[in-house]
Amino acid sequence: MSHRLFVAIRPPEPVRDALIDLMEGVSDVRWQDDDQLHLTLRYIGETDRHRANELAGALAAVEFAPFPIAIDGTAFFERKGRAHTLYADIDPNPELLSLRKRVERVCVQCGCEPEHRKYAPHITIARLNASSGSLTPFLGRTSEFKLAPWICDAFRLYESHLRPGGSLYEPVMTYPAAKQ
């Protein structure tokens, strides 16, 4: 049996609530629900049970101190000139990038292919399609959106289950920061 895995940070409830409050004003998009809001550190993808168990154990060795994370506006990703993902942008900081590198190193040590894409920290808020409405009003209203930083004190290993209405993300393991 294979597992579709990724490693992510779960924003606290007040941050998720503020993001959900933004989710309006663009027609024909699939807005993320509360359970889907996360900041991906590493997408792993399909993996067998043995590697999944190895990863779950190896990630426990990733040490980090709690650190702040801040949202800095909204934007979108595009492919071939067409927007496909609307997201809240994350202000990158050295602690976040360091944690991401440590997680990446563990994934590669466990046999995952190295990630070749440039890391762009973000929280997806909507999936778009060819019939989605204009993003201009939404981005005009939210591009300067900021929240007070929150403290990242854990990351999680998730399993993703594909469904017609969007993926269901099941937390498998939580890895807390070192005690201060």
Band of the pLDDT at 180, cuts 50, 70, 90? low
Q: How confident is the model at residue 162 (pLDDT cuts 50, 70, 90)?
A: confident
pLDDT value of residue 43: 96
pLDDT at 7: 98
pTM: 0.94
Mean pLDDT to the nearest integer, 128-132: 93
Domain ranges in the chain? Answer: 2-176
pLDDT value at residue 133: 93
DSSP code at position 66: -
d(CA 96, CA 80): 29
- Closest to 158 (Cα-Cα) out of 92, 16, 23, 59: 59
Q: How many CB atoms lie within 10 A of CB 102?
A: 18
User: Over the stretch 27-50, which tens digit does the pLDDT of each residue have?
Assistant: 999 999 999 999 999 999 999 999
Domain 2-176: give its CATH code. Answer: 3.90.1140.10
Cα distances (Å, whole numbers) of residue 32 to 44, 66, 155: 20, 26, 20
For the stretch 4-18, pLDDT in tens is: 999 999 999 999 999
pLDDT the model gives residue 120: 95
pLDDT recorded at residue 81: 86
pLDDT over 90 (residue 104): yes
- Give the CA distances from residue 55 to residues 64, 79, 98, 105, in Å, rounded to whole numbers and listed in that order: 17, 31, 18, 11
| Residue whose token pair is 């060795």 | 61
Q: What is the pLDDT of residue 155?
A: 98
